[in-house]
Amino acid sequence: EPEVTQTPSHQVTQMGQEVILRCVPISNHLYFYWYRQILGQKVEFLVSFYNNEISEKSEIFDDQFSVERPDGSNFTLKIRSTKLEDSAMYFCASNRVTDTQYFGPGTRLTVL
């Protein structure tokens, strides 16, 4: 069964550094998403992406965040200058039109 994959599984970085989190959505899916989950809290929406552009973003998704689909398979989340409070699990999700969103296993980001 096709799955969303994410790399790396764990990323440790220094405050102020740039990080890029990578995702490979399910191949026939058209909508892509990033969510994050701070330890012990609920999953929060960051951004949705369709037809090579952002369709919606949350207040969390400020100018330090960007997304890109650099080729036909990858979907990336970049944080330009990480802050301590960016430490969280980051989940990528994807779906076809009017269908369930399927989530990847997540990347644990630790900002020191």
Partner 1 sequence: GESVGLHLPTLSVQEGDNSIINCAYSNSASDYFIWYKQESGKGPQFIIDIRSNMDKRQGQRVTVLLNKTVKHLSLQIAATQPGDSAVYFCAENFNFGNEKLTFGTGTRLTIIP
Per the CB < 8 A criterion, the answer to whether 49 and 74 are in contact is: no
Residue with Cβ nearer partner 1 (24 or 43): 43
In the complex, the residues that contact partner 1 under the rule CB under 8 A are 4, 31, 33, 35, 38-45, 48, 50, 55-56, 58, 84-85, 91, 93, 95, 97-106
Residue with Cβ nearer partner 1 (66 or 101): 101
Could you tell me the CA-to-CA distances from 50 to 37, 54, 65, 80 in Å, in that order? 22, 6, 17, 22
As a whole number of angstroms, the distance between CA 23 and CA 25 comes to: 6
Residue with Cβ nearer partner 1 (19 or 91): 91
